[in-house]
Amino acid sequence: MGEWIRFGFAAFLILCGLLAAGIAAFGLFKFRFALNRMHAAAMCDTLAILLVLSGLIVLSGFNFDSLKLFLIILLLWCASPVASHLLANLEVTVSPKLKDNCEILTDDGKEEEKV
């Protein structure tokens, strides 16, 4: 019985992860503006991978393999948001059509006046 509960929980986590990855892939191709697409891709990088890998950890139990999987989660959660941040920074710096697609706030949180 316990085995079945564990299997069900793991399957639930993995299916959720697959759903998140599917939605992210859909958004990646559906959106037109680079920052929106980047948001979708970053969701896939973090949430979907977290769910799938924790499902695998539950499935594998407490051993050396699950420790390695945990390290993979840690590495990806450290690395991929930073990468997304840098890419978004670049996009904000160089994009000529930025103001058509999003509001730009000043440091106080107020909307910058449109030129």
Partner 1 sequence: MSKIRKNYDTSFRTRFRRYILGETELPEVDYMPMYKKQIAEEKAEDERATEHYLMPPEVDPMEDAKRYAELSGMRWFRRLYGVMALLLCVAISGLLIYNVAFMPEFGSADTAMTNEVTERYIEKGQEETGVVNTVTGVILQYRGFDTFGETHVLFLATIAVMILLKRRKDEEPVRMDGENPGGDRILRTMAHFMVPLIFLFGLYILVNGHLSPGGGFSGGAVLGAGLILYSASFGFTATARFFNERIYDIVKVGSLMLYSLLIIYYLFTGANGIDSIVPLGKAGAIISSGLILPINILVGFEVACTMYAFFALFRKGGL
Residues forming contacts to partner 1 in the complex (CB under 8 A) are 78-79, 82, 85-86, 89
Q: At 106, is the secondary structure helix, strand, or coil?
A: coil
Among residues 13 and 84, whose Cβ is nearest to partner 1?
84
Among residues 15 and 82, whose Cβ is nearest to partner 1?
82
Shortest reach from residue 82's CB to partner 1, in Å: 5
Shortest reach from residue 86's CB to partner 1, in Å: 6
Among residues 21 and 84, whose Cβ is nearest to partner 1?
84
Buried b vs exposed e over 21-54: b needs ≥16 C-beta within 10 Å? bebbeebbeeeeebbebbbbbbbbbbbbbbbbbb
CB 40 within 8 A of CB 27: yes
Backbone angles phi, psi at 81, to 5 degrees: -65, -35
Shortest reach from residue 32's CB to partner 1, in Å: 20
